[in-house]
């Protein structure tokens, strides 16, 4: 008899022929998450199991954050040929609880002598007789005691919900434009939740933005890297580009032109990273650069599709997720972002392409981009 964590997955079931690949990826991700705690991870009978971790609570905490995991429960693996032993363990699990319960048996090993209704009756009867303060309620039980008869038998009471989604690595690659704000870390987390491997680009305008601002972004990347299974961040110096835009372009257009340069550079980084999409934390109408018109003009310079997981979210909804995933506090530290340092008083909310192109024609675009890419720093977290 031993305690194991039983991990269930959700949507992978929908994947038909690709299912073995998704499962392999999930096992690998679960293994990666609990590896520092030791123990064994294996796939059996449509579930992933973990046993022998040095700290079961910590293993549970980590596994609940692995994308692709739908729920986890602490289970007892018992010898199914020892039915009395199984009943005794069931009683032990229910001891200390008072109120209504029911036994929910599932028998996937059809060679097992008892069918599910019989297991329910036998285990339920034993528990009722040996644990004081219990009643049976099959319709609205206060607690469900599950018995699964598989290769081995498993007993558990409370499955804990996990993050859901799909395992990172099963849905291609994308490059996130990561600022130090609240939104883009959430956007990166959300795209990774759908199984995408994420890399990131951050634009830094030293000395207008401080070393601390850069550190803050790397801290955010560190927080994200646990769920994202590692994160490479390209920190690109952006001061020269911003200065030229500031000097040579119409003040109201500096924001949209700056964002087009961000897109061009992010696109180049994405291609190096073999990514097939760009991701931003934009949400429609949140600020001047996030109108339909402005986003059309920024997308026009990207070769790759731009994904905006937060496009329909209100700020509060984004904050709620940021708090849940642990980025909110760091995002709220007060260091300036390069976007805010150079914000014009009246950014154009309905920018015109001809004015944008006119402004851009005054810049040494190609050489600025090449220089920025050359001078970037790369951090692997
Ligand atoms: P965030 O909270 O993510 O900073 P925001 O509401 O401040 O977003 P903007 O500053 O307009 O909005 O930025 C919109 C998006 O552009 C960000 O979500 C991010 O994807 C990208 N972005 C902004 N600044 C940077 C930067 N310095 N480096 C990389 N990407 C950036
Ligand atoms: Mg920002």
Using pLDDT thresholds of 50, 70 and 90, give the confidence band for residue 39.
confident
Q: What is the pLDDT of residue 336?
A: 74
- The yes-or-no verdict on residue 278 having pLDDT over 70 is yes
Q: Mutation test of ligand 1: which of 205, 262, 339 has the most ligand atoms closer than 8 Å to its C-beta?
A: 339
Q: Is the CB of 205 within 6 Å of ligand 1? A: no
**Atom 22 of ligand 1: nearest residue by CA position:** 179
| CB of 339 shorter than 6 A to ligand 1 | yes
The percent of residues above 90 in pLDDT, for the chain, comes to 84
- Give me ligand 1 centre to Cα 248, in Å: 23
Taking residues 332-355, report their average pLDDT: 81
Choose which residue among 176, 184, 209 to substitute to test ligand 1 binding: the one with the highest number of ligand atoms within 8 A of its C-beta.
184
End-to-end CA distance of the chain: 39
In degrees, rounded to 5, the angle at the alpha carbon of residue 330 between the alpha carbons of residues 343 and 165 is 105
Decide: 67 and 195 in contact? Cβ < 8 Å: yes
Q: What is the mean pLDDT of residues 252-258?
A: 93
Indicate the top mutation candidate among 179, 198, 288, 302 to test ligand 1's pocket, ranked by most ligand atoms within 8 A of CB: 179
Q: From atom 4 of ligand 1, which residue's Cα is the shortest distance away? A: 181
pLDDT digits (tens, 9 = 90+) for 94-107: 999 999 999 999 99
Q: Which 3 state secondary structure label does DSSP give 148?
A: strand
Question: Which residue shows structure tokens 């642990």?
Answer: 326
The yes-or-no verdict on residue 340 having pLDDT over 80 is: no
* Closest C-alpha residue for ligand 1 atom 2: 181
Ligand 1 atom showing the smallest separation from residue 177 Cα: 30
Rounded CA separation 381/379 (Å) = 6
Closest atom of ligand 1 to CA, residue 331: 2
Q: Of the candidates 84, 106, 104, 97, which has an alpha carbon nearest to the alpha carbon of residue 135? A: 97
Residue 379, pLDDT above cutoff 70 = yes
How large is the average pLDDT for residues 325-345? 83
Rounded to whole angstroms, the Cα distance separating 167 from 165 reads 7
What angle do the packed helices 211-228 and 183-193 form, to 10 degrees? 20
Q: CA 74 to CA 77: how far, in whole Å?
A: 10
User: Candidates 177, 264, 298, 325: which one to mutate for ligand 1, based on the most atoms within 8 Å of Cβ?
Assistant: 177
Binding site membership of 183 for ligand 1 (Cβ less than 6 Å): yes
Does the Cβ of 182 fall within 6 Å of ligand 1? yes
With a cut of 80, say whether residue 21 has pLDDT above it: yes
241: confidence class by pLDDT, cuts 50, 70, 90: very high
Residue 219 clears pLDDT 70, i.e. is over it = yes
Confidence category of residue 20, pLDDT binned at 50, 70, 90: confident
209 CA: nearest ligand 1 atom: 27
pLDDT per residue over 55-78, tens digit each? Answer: 999 999 999 999 999 999 999 999
291-297 long-range Cβ contacts below 8 angstroms, 24+ apart: 291/349, 291/350, 293/349, 293/350, 293/351, 294/255, 294/256, 294/259, 294/348, 294/349, 294/351, 297/256, 297/260, 297/351, 297/353, 297/356
What are the backbone dihedrals phi and psi of residue 266, each rounded to the nearest 5 degrees, phi first? -60, -35
Question: What is the CA angle 116-121-124, rounded to 5?
Answer: 115
Distance between CA atoms of residues 257 and 272, nearest Å: 23
How buried is residue 360: exposed, middle or buried, by Cβ count under 10 Å (0-12/13-18/19+)? Answer: middle
The whole model's pTM is what?
A: 0.91
Please tell me the residue having the least CA distance from ligand 1 atom 7: 181
Whether ligand 1 lies within 6 angstroms of the CB of 337 is answered as yes
Residue 98 CA to residue 233 CA, distance in Å, equals 52
């Amino acid at each position: 008899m031993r305690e194991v964590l039983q991990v269930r997955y959700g949507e992978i079931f929908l994947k038909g022929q690709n299912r073995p690949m998704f499962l392999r990826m999930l096992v690998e991700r679960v293994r990666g998450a609990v590896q520092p705690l030791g123990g064994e991870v294996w796939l059996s009978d449509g579930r992933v199991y973990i046993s022998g971790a040095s700290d079961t609570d910590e293993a549970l905490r980590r596994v609940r954050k692995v994308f692709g995991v739908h729920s986890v429960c602490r289970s007892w693996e018992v010898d199914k040929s020892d039915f009395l032993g199984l009943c005794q363990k069931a009683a032990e699990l229910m001891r200390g609880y008072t109120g209504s319960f029911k036994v929910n048996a599932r028998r996937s090993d059809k060679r097992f002598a008892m069918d599910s209704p019989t297991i329910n009756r036998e285990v339920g009867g034993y528990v009722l007789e040996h644990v004081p303060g219990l009643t049976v309620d099959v319709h609205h039980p206060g607690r469900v005691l599950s018995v699964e008869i598989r290769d081995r038998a498993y007993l558990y009471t409370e499955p804990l919900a996990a993050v859901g989604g799909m395992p990172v690595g099963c849905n291609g690659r994308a490059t996130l434009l990561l600022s130090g704000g609240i939104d883009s870390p959430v956007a990166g987390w959300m795209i990774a939740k759908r199984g995408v491997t994420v890399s990131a680009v951050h634009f830094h305008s030293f000395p207008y933005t401080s070393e601390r601002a850069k550190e803050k972004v790397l801290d955010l990347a560190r927080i994200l890297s646990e769920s994202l299974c590692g994160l490479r961040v390209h920190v690109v110096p952006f001061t020269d580009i911003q200065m030229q835009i500031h000097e040579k372009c119409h003040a109201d257009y500096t924001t949209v032109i700056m964002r087009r340069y961000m897109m061009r550079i992010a696109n180049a980084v994405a291609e190096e990273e073999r990514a097939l999409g760009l991701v931003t934390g934009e949400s429609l109408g949140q600020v001047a650069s996030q109108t339909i018109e402005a986003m059309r003009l920024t997308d026009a310079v990207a070769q790759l599709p731009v994904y905006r997981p937060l496009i329909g979210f209100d700020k509060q909804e984004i904050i709620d997720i940021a708090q849940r995933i642990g980025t909110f506090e760091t995002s709220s530290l007060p260091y300036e972002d390069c976007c805010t340092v150079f914000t014009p008083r009246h950014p154009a909310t309905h920018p015109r392409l001809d004015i944008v192109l006119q402004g851009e024609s005054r810049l040494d675009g190609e050489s600025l981009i090449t220089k920025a890419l050359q001078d970037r720093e790369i951090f692997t977290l």
